[in-house]
């Protein structure tokens, strides 16, 4: 061991006053290294005697906080090299072939969309609450409310006309499935609206209305009744035999009503 | 760069087209369902047609209020029947219609009457009577409908009507 190495080792010791046997053997026989070791020991002694400044008041809390934090206290300084992952390889591939991959994805989406559309059921089963909703009943309720709020005879006539139209439409819709008794009910309601509602209202239009004003109110309603009559006649030729008398009855009622309304308007 | 612009433009155009398709139409009833409902509601529709025709012939506000209450009463009777059969869905549906008649037909008519009719006149007395019977109808309905999860909204609607009829 040469002097340079001995002196370096003495300096590197935690306490230069505590020499290892190997170093002590060299220092005992070498004057230069002996002087070096003495100086290092003296320096250590002097350092011990230096006054230590007091630590900042919050230093302890900060340090405890650092130790208690969620992240590991010892941070990795370097990321070890690993093999490239599948995701990064796939990402690079997609970047290089963006057009082809995009085209392929779009084609898959189109095929999936067509398959879904073709396979979806055409008849949507209504939920239970929907099954209790009866469109005709709702329409009749709305007409009653509107009639309660209709302040003029013309407005009431309009609502009654709507009611008759809805009943005629329902009859046409049910002509092929309903029994004669049910169709009869529908025809009876239609008759009631036209003969007991529309015709008396047409006769009771206010006297202060001119004939032209009356015609303006009554003509569209008469035209609607004519349409009901034509539709019912047309359907009666194609409907089951059971339904034909009912449709004929509706056609007759509508035609009579239209005639009466037209007469009031002229 | 231009390619991406084309792709995005196409995407947004397709999204706008899809968005413009509107809501999904309500499911249509099968003929069998329509027939079943016509049978179930035949008497009720008969009554509503009668009340509608009667309403069209009434000019006086107290008579119109009375006819409107009669229409509501027809629905109330059907609700009683449905509640007796423990048909909660039908109770809910009919209570909804009953509420519509009272809220949109009867109450505004009563309010109009309050503004236009002298309180002490026979018409004013009639209007108060109609309001009273309508309140009784609502109270009776509340007592009939069992409190379940399915009828919760119906009972709430009736509470609101009772409050408005006061």
Q: Are A33 and A62 in contact (CB under 8 A)?
A: no
The whole domain housing A20 covers 3-47
Q: Locate B140 and state its tokens.
A: 């009776």
Chain-chain contact of A144 with B3 (C-beta, under 8 angstroms): no
Q: Which residues of A touch B60 (CB under 8 A)?
A: none
Burial class (CB in 10 A: 0-12, 13-18, 19+), A52: exposed
Chain A: residue whose CA lies nearest to B24: A124
Render pLDDT for B55-91 as a digit per residue (tens, 0 to 9).
999 999 999 999 999 999 999 999 999 999 999 999 9
Q: Are A262 and A222 in contact (CB under 8 A)?
A: yes
Q: Is residue A33 part of a domain?
A: yes
Q: Is residue B36 part of a domain?
A: no
Q: Is residue B38 part of a domain?
A: no
How confident is the prediction for chain B on average, in pLDDT? Answer: 90
Exposure string over B22-46, b if 16+ CB within 10 A, otherwise e: eeeeeeebeeebbbebbebbbebbb
Chain-chain contact of B52 with A138 (C-beta, under 8 angstroms): no
Nearest Cα of chain A lies from the Cα of B130 at a distance, in angstroms, of 14
Would you say residue B47 has pLDDT above 60? yes
At a CB cut-off of 8 Å and minimum separation 6, what does A26 contact? A1, A3, A6, A33
A 145-164 near B (Cβ less than 8 A): 145, 147-150, 156-157, 159-160, 163
Work out how many domains chain A is built from and give that number: 2
Mean pLDDT for the stretch of residues A46-64: 77
Q: Which residues of A touch B104 (CB under 8 A)?
A: 145, 149
Render pLDDT for A124-180 as a digit per residue (tens, 0 to 9).
445 555 567 899 999 999 999 999 999 899 999 999 999 999 999 999 999 988 999
Render pLDDT for A5-45 as a digit per residue (tens, 0 to 9).
888 888 888 888 888 888 888 888 888 888 888 888 888 88
Pick A82 or B42 by higher pLDDT. B42
Distance of alpha carbon A202 from alpha carbon A154, whole angstroms: 8
Render pLDDT for B83-121 as a digit per residue (tens, 0 to 9).
999 999 999 999 999 999 999 999 999 999 999 999 999
**Confidence band for B23, pLDDT divided at 50, 70 and 90:** low
Q: Is A144 on the interface with B (CB under 8 A)?
A: yes
Work out how many domains chain B is built from and give that number: 1
Distance of alpha carbon B70 from alpha carbon B61, whole angstroms: 14
Q: Is residue B103 part of a domain?
A: yes
Nearest to B105 among A145, A157, A196 (CB): A145
Question: Rounded to the nearest 10 degrees, what angle do helices A21-29 and A3-12 cross at?
Answer: 130
Q: Is B101 on the interface with A (CB under 8 A)?
A: yes
Q: Is residue B112 part of a domain?
A: yes
CB atoms within 10 A of CB A193: 29
Nearest to A147 among B40, B52, B92 (CB): B52
pLDDT for position B20: 65
**Confidence band for A265, pLDDT divided at 50, 70 and 90:** confident
A 84-103 near B (Cβ less than 8 A): 99, 102
Q: Are A170 and A186 in contact (CB under 8 A)?
A: yes
pLDDT for position B19: 63
Chain-chain contact of B34 with A177 (C-beta, under 8 angstroms): yes
Distance of alpha carbon A229 from alpha carbon B82, whole angstroms: 37
Phi, psi of A156 (to 5 degrees): -65, -40
At a CB cut-off of 8 Å and minimum separation 6, what does B102 contact? B72, B134, B138, B161, B165
Q: Is residue A242 part of a domain?
A: yes
Q: Is residue A97 part of a domain?
A: no
Render pLDDT for A73-119 as a digit per residue (tens, 0 to 9).
555 555 555 677 778 888 888 888 888 888 888 888 888 878 887 77
pLDDT for position A75: 57
Long-range CB pairs of A15-23, under 8 A, 24+ apart, other chains included: A15/A44, A16/A40, A16/A41, A16/A43, A16/A44, A17/A41, A17/A44, A17/A45
Chain-chain contact of B48 with A178 (C-beta, under 8 angstroms): no
pLDDT for position A22: 86
At a CB cut-off of 8 Å and minimum separation 6, what does A106 contact? none
User: What is the residue whose two structure tokens read 């089963």?
Assistant: A125
Nearest to B49 among A131, A178, A193 (CB): A193
Rg (CA), chain A: 52
- DSSP sequence for chain B: -HHHHHHHHHHHHHHHHHHTT-SPPPPPPPHHHHHHHHHHHHHHHHHHHHHHHHHHT--SHHHHHHHHHHHHHHHHHHHHHHHHTT-HHHHHHHHHHHHHIIIIIIHHHHHHHHHHS-TTSHHHHHHHHHHHHHHHHHHHHHHHS---TTTHHHHHHHHHHHHHH-
pTM of the entire predicted model: 0.66
* A143/A23 same-domain check: no
Render pLDDT for A189-243 as a digit per residue (tens, 0 to 9).
999 999 999 999 999 888 888 888 999 999 999 999 999 999 999 999 988 898 8
Distance of alpha carbon B116 from alpha carbon B76, whole angstroms: 29
At a CB cut-off of 8 Å and minimum separation 6, what does B147 contact? B155
* A30/A141 same-domain check: no
Q: Is A173 on the interface with B (CB under 8 A)?
A: yes
CATH number at residue B156: 1.20.120
Q: Is residue A198 part of a domain?
A: yes
B 38-57 near A (Cβ less than 8 A): 38-42, 44-46, 48-53, 55-57
Chain-chain contact of B29 with A135 (C-beta, under 8 angstroms): yes
Nearest Cα of chain A lies from the Cα of B120 at a distance, in angstroms, of 23
Q: Is residue B46 part of a domain?
A: no
Q: Is residue B88 part of a domain?
A: yes
Would you say residue A52 has pLDDT above 80? no
Nearest Cα of chain B lies from the Cα of A120 at a distance, in angstroms, of 14
At a CB cut-off of 8 Å and minimum separation 6, what does B76 contact? B98, B137, B140, B141
The whole domain housing B74 covers 61-166
Which conformational region is residue A82 in: left (phi greater than 0), alpha (psi within -120 to 50 degrees), or beta? Answer: beta
Helix (H) / strand (E) containing A4 = helix A3-12
Mutate to test the interface with B, among A113, A122, A144 (most CBs of B within 10 A): A144
pLDDT for position A151: 87
Nearest to A131 among B33, B38, B75 (CB): B33
Q: Is residue A108 part of a domain?
A: no
Pick B1 or A110 by higher pLDDT. A110
- In this predicted complex, what is the ipTM? 0.84
Q: Is residue B135 part of a domain?
A: yes
Q: Is residue B111 part of a domain?
A: yes
């Amino acid at each position: 061991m040469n002097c340079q190495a001995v002196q370096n080792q003495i300096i590197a010791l935690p306490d230069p006053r505590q020499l290892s046997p190997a170093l002590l053997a060299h220092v005992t026989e070498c004057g230069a290294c002996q002087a070096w070791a003495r100086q290092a020991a003296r320096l250590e002694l002097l350092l011990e005697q230096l006054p230590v400044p007091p630590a900042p008041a919050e230093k302890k809390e900060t340090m405890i906080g650092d130790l208690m934090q969620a992240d590991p206290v010892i941070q990795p300084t370097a990321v070890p090299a690993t093999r490239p992952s599948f995701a990064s390889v796939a990402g690079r591939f997609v970047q290089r072939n963006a057009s082809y991959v995009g085209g392929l994805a779009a084609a898959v989406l189109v095929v999936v969309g067509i398959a879904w559309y073709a396979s979806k059921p055409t008849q949507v089963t209504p939920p239970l609450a929907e099954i209790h909703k009866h469109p005709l009943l709702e329409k009749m309720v709305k007409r009653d409310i509107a009639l309660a709020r209709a302040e003029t005879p013309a407005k009431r006539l309009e609502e009654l006309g709507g009611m008759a139209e809805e009943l005629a439409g329902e009859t046409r819709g049910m002509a092929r499935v309903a029994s004669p008794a049910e169709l009869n009910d529908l025809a009876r309601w239609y008759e009631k609206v036209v003969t007991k509602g529309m015709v008396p209202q047409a006769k009771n239009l206010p006297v202060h209305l001119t004939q032209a004003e009356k015609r303006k109110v009554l003509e569209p309603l008469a035209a609607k009744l004519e349409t009901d009559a034509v539709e019912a006649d047309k359907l009666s030729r194609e409907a089951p035999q059971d339904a034909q008398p009912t449709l004929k009855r509706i056609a007759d009622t509508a035609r009579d009503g239209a005639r009466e309304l037209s007469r009031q308007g002229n | 760069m231009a390619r991406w612009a084309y792709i995005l433009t196409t995407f947004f155009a397709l999204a706008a087209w899809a968005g413009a398709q509107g809501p999904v139409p309500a499911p249509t009833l099968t003929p069998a369902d329509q027939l079943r409902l016509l049978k179930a509601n035949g008497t009720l529709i008969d009554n509503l047609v009668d009340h509608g025709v009667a309403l069209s012939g009434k000019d006086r506000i107290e008579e119109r209020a009375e006819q409107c209450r009669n229409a509501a009463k027809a629905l109330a009777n059907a609700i009683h029947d449905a509640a007796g059969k423990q048909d909660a869905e039908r109770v809910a549906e009919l209570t909804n219609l009953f509420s519509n008649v009272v809220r949109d037909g009867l109450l505004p008519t009563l309010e109009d009457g309050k503004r236009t009719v002298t309180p002490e006149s026979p018409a004013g007395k009639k209007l108060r009577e109609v309001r009273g019977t309508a309140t009784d109808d609502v109270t009776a309905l509340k007592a009939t409908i069992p409190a379940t999860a399915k009828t919760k909204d119906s009972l709430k609607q009736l509470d609101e009507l009772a409050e408005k009829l006061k």
